[in-house]
Chain A
């Protein structure tokens, strides 16, 4: 069995699982849909491993396999195939996506047990995994766009999963609209590529690009900027990030899978995939890196003040994706993708732990109401702290190795790129602080009411309410059903979190400077044409970077300890003293308001103008003018219709006679 056959099977199982759950939802009892969906993803994961094994058997210069099922379109000069590209990058992404998805499916089996839309949920979730795998396996721009749009739809469907909660449906629409902005950019980029290079195929396009374009030519920069529009919309980078915090309206496992671990990293994948184009357009790559830097600092500052547990983690996701975007844009491809992997582990873990805490809080998400869960939820607390340590890049954790590798690379490139090192370390300090703002506030302190109840053995149940607005809701909408599930009492949740916790600790060991570089060697065939891939910080410099990163992380954690454990309440005094800054951060730098003023209101005003002026006077005027002309002409012509049949006959005879005379005269 070849690697491409395995890759097709990777796609087939989630699609089959989605269809089975969708069509069999009346027949499948209890948790069956969940187990079917989880099994489908597990099979996809096994096939990803199969593809990996077969790919490693190939010599490293032949690790780019393509396969096509049939032609989409084959016309003059146009040849679009339903083709996949199996190379180290796509196999790497398949492994991360299907592996993390499998664990999150497992978690969902318990977490959504009492939800009315159980089968629907798993059908959507499997469809999402299928789309994401299609995206990463696509061998040409057309199939990439298909997968790209599919994940956008899956994201919309799952954000709006509780469709009777109006905040969820509007958040879904917002996500979809912003993603469509990105789709437009990506489609235009693909059309530009086709116009310039005459092909949609990745391998052919990337081979032809260096001969067609000179470095920093206008066209290639335009192509890369259009690709970036797509990547930034999907990966929630400035200024297209506003949908991601709102996307937390979906169920918590969805936030873990789609809006933290996999879909939002599609932009990072896209930049890595199209790196031959970006290396021809260093200007576009630098712009991407600068936007990534701005995003990662911006999101880290907002995460300092948000109080909704899931939204803090969402801003942290935006910030961490900023690191990845910086990484793949400055040429640290292996480091960026390494961070993508470790982030998938620890961020999924954080969301799962958050889901468990939210379950114990009976659906409430405000961290101001949470405290002292360490005795009531020992397992969840432990894994929350592990996730926070990995996010804070504490020494030895996976996030430490991956994040600092990106920053070391920026240092190695030197010059202009040093701003990424400095900015990255600054944000790393904030990251460590807000990671333990979550950690300490949830875990330590006096147990809150719900925690005391749980210590006595009663899991809190409250009237279902919208965590954002506090509105009352009917059960079966909002928070997953009338029963609440916590990791301590549900084995599938427990297992999924334990595996991710283990991976969050040890995943960094695959890429220790001076010891091993598994990911870098594995990905080398994809990036071998890149001159930047050979650039490495020396082992000593890399360890120095890790040392600085570790110190910054410990400093951030220590500050968080001082603020939230040693001197609780000190942050409230700071907030009162720096009210203006706090307001600025609490309003998320007024991005929503800015987009509202710059995009939404002008469009609305244009619509009103079109309705009041264009429609009323121009369009209506044209229509009624035409009507008037037709009516006037009709009034004149009507006179000829006298109703005298003999008059008609006379006209006919006279007409023919006239014609006959005319032809006689002409012919003679």
Chain B
């Protein structure tokens, strides 16, 4: 099968993820969408690895998974901390960094 199909799927997944990050306000959903973008990237890497017939892409995909796992730990930890402090779970209300 042609590699472009995989890339189209990857691009669609990435667009869904990016759109989710931009549109949704719940930090939890934003985190899920980020994961979606990362996995879209993984899909593209694996597709290219298969097309080229070597393992480099697999290695990168594994690294991305590790990074994603770390990111989830931090992100979920932040969300739990926000919940415990009874902060609004809405990124538009969290504007402490306004200049």
Residues of A within 8 A of B (CB): 637-646, 649-650, 653
Q: Is the CB of A638 within 8 A of B92?
A: no
**Chain B residues with Cβ under 8 A from A646's Cβ?**
21-23, 25, 91-92
**Chain A residues with Cβ under 8 A from B25's Cβ?**
646
Q: Is the CB of B22 within 8 A of A641?
A: no
Q: Is the CB of B22 within 8 A of A644?
A: no
Mark contacts of B1-44 with chain A using CB atoms, 8 A cut-off: 1 yes-contact digit, 0 otherwise: 00000000000000000100111010000000000000000000
A638 to B92, CA, bound (A): 18
A107 to B21, CA, bound (A): 94
Q: B84 in the interface, Cβ–Cβ < 8 Å?
A: no
10 residue pairs from A and B, CB less than 8 Å apart: A638-B99, A639-B99, A641-B97, A642-B98, A643-B95, A643-B99, A644-B95, A645-B92, A646-B21, A653-B18
Q: Is the CB of B98 within 8 A of A649?
A: no
Choose one: B22, B95, B96, B97; the contact of A649 (CB below 8 Å): B22
In the complex, residue of chain B having the shortest beta-carbon distance to the beta carbon of A641? B99
Q: For the complex of A and B, list the 8 residue pairs with the smallest distance between their C-beta atoms, beginning with the closest.
A: A641-B99, A643-B98, A643-B95, A638-B99, A645-B91, A643-B97, A649-B21, A653-B18
Q: A649-B21, A653-B22 are in contact. Are A641 and B98 (CB under 8 A)?
A: yes
A653 to B18, CA, bound (A): 8
Q: A643-B95, A646-B22, A650-B22 are in contact. List 20 more A-B contacts (CB 8 A).
A: A640-B99, A641-B97, A641-B98, A642-B99, A643-B94, A643-B97, A643-B98, A643-B99, A644-B91, A644-B92, A645-B91, A645-B92, A646-B21, A646-B23, A646-B25, A646-B91, A649-B21, A649-B22, A653-B18, A653-B21
In the complex, residue of chain A having the shortest beta-carbon distance to the beta carbon of B98? A643
Mark contacts of B63-99 with chain A using CB atoms, 8 A cut-off: 1 yes-contact digit, 0 otherwise: 0000000000000000000000000000110111111
Shortest CB-to-CB span from A641 to chain B, Å, is: 3
A637 to B99, CA, bound (A): 9
**Chain B residues with Cβ under 8 A from A639's Cβ?**
99
In the complex, residue of chain A having the shortest beta-carbon distance to the beta carbon of B95? A643
A607 to B95, CA, bound (A): 53
A639 to B21, CA, bound (A): 23
**Chain B residues with Cβ under 8 A from A649's Cβ?**
21-22
What is the total number of residues of chain B having a CB less than 8 Å from a CB of chain A? 13
**Chain A residues with Cβ under 8 A from B94's Cβ?**
643, 645
In the complex, residue of chain A having the shortest beta-carbon distance to the beta carbon of B34? A649
Q: Is the CB of A643 within 8 A of B22?
A: no
Shortest CB-to-CB span from B35 to chain A, Å, is: 15
In the complex, residue of chain B having the shortest beta-carbon distance to the beta carbon of A642? B98
**Chain B residues with Cβ under 8 A from A650's Cβ?**
22
A217 to B97, CA, bound (A): 74
A482 to B20, CA, bound (A): 95
A638 to B23, CA, bound (A): 24
Shortest CB-to-CB span from B32 to chain A, Å, is: 14
In the complex, residue of chain B having the shortest beta-carbon distance to the beta carbon of A639? B99
Shortest CB-to-CB span from B4 to chain A, Å, is: 16
**Chain A residues with Cβ under 8 A from B92's Cβ?**
644-646
**Chain B residues with Cβ under 8 A from A637's Cβ?**
99
A640 to B98, CA, bound (A): 9
In the complex, residue of chain A having the shortest beta-carbon distance to the beta carbon of B15? A653
In the complex, residue of chain A having the shortest beta-carbon distance to the beta carbon of B37? A653
A640 to B97, CA, bound (A): 11
A257 to B99, CA, bound (A): 73
Shortest CB-to-CB span from A640 to chain B, Å, is: 7
Q: Is the CB of B96 within 8 A of A643?
A: yes
A11 to B91, CA, bound (A): 80
A644 to B30, CA, bound (A): 14
**Chain A residues with Cβ under 8 A from B18's Cβ?**
653
In the complex, residue of chain A having the shortest beta-carbon distance to the beta carbon of B19? A653
A642 to B91, CA, bound (A): 12
**Chain B residues with Cβ under 8 A from A641's Cβ?**
97-99
Shortest CB-to-CB span from A14 to chain B, Å, is: 70
In the complex, residue of chain A having the shortest beta-carbon distance to the beta carbon of B23? A646
Shortest CB-to-CB span from B8 to chain A, Å, is: 16
**Chain B residues with Cβ under 8 A from A653's Cβ?**
18, 21-22
A643 to B98, CA, bound (A): 4
Most buried by B among A639, A642, A645, A653: A645
Shortest CB-to-CB span from A380 to chain B, Å, is: 87
Shortest CB-to-CB span from A263 to chain B, Å, is: 68
Shortest CB-to-CB span from A630 to chain B, Å, is: 15
A290 to B94, CA, bound (A): 88
A639 to B99, CA, bound (A): 7
**Chain A residues with Cβ under 8 A from B23's Cβ?**
646
A376 to B91, CA, bound (A): 105
Shortest CB-to-CB span from B95 to chain A, Å, is: 3
Shortest CB-to-CB span from B84 to chain A, Å, is: 20
Most buried by A among B18, B92, B99: B99
**Chain A residues with Cβ under 8 A from B99's Cβ?**
637-643
Shortest CB-to-CB span from A643 to chain B, Å, is: 3
**Chain A residues with Cβ under 8 A from B21's Cβ?**
646, 649, 653
A345 to B97, CA, bound (A): 84
In the complex, residue of chain A having the shortest beta-carbon distance to the beta carbon of B27? A645
**Chain B residues with Cβ under 8 A from A640's Cβ?**
99
Shortest CB-to-CB span from B89 to chain A, Å, is: 13
A51 to B24, CA, bound (A): 96
A649 to B92, CA, bound (A): 12
A265 to B71, CA, bound (A): 80
Most buried by B among A639, A640, A641, A644: A644
Shortest CB-to-CB span from A657 to chain B, Å, is: 9
A644 to B99, CA, bound (A): 11
Shortest CB-to-CB span from A629 to chain B, Å, is: 18
**Chain B residues with Cβ under 8 A from A644's Cβ?**
91-92, 95
**Chain B residues with Cβ under 8 A from A638's Cβ?**
99
In the complex, residue of chain B having the shortest beta-carbon distance to the beta carbon of A638? B99
A103 to B99, CA, bound (A): 80
Shortest CB-to-CB span from A589 to chain B, Å, is: 72
Shortest CB-to-CB span from A661 to chain B, Å, is: 14
**Chain A residues with Cβ under 8 A from B97's Cβ?**
641, 643
A641 to B95, CA, bound (A): 10
**Chain A residues with Cβ under 8 A from B96's Cβ?**
643
Shortest CB-to-CB span from A650 to chain B, Å, is: 6
A645 to B78, CA, bound (A): 15
**Chain B residues with Cβ under 8 A from A645's Cβ?**
91-92, 94
**Chain A residues with Cβ under 8 A from B98's Cβ?**
641-643
**Chain A residues with Cβ under 8 A from B95's Cβ?**
642-644
Shortest CB-to-CB span from A460 to chain B, Å, is: 84
A640 to B18, CA, bound (A): 21
A640 to B95, CA, bound (A): 13
Shortest CB-to-CB span from A452 to chain B, Å, is: 93
A392 to B3, CA, bound (A): 115
Shortest CB-to-CB span from B74 to chain A, Å, is: 15
**Chain B residues with Cβ under 8 A from A642's Cβ?**
95, 98-99
Shortest CB-to-CB span from A509 to chain B, Å, is: 94
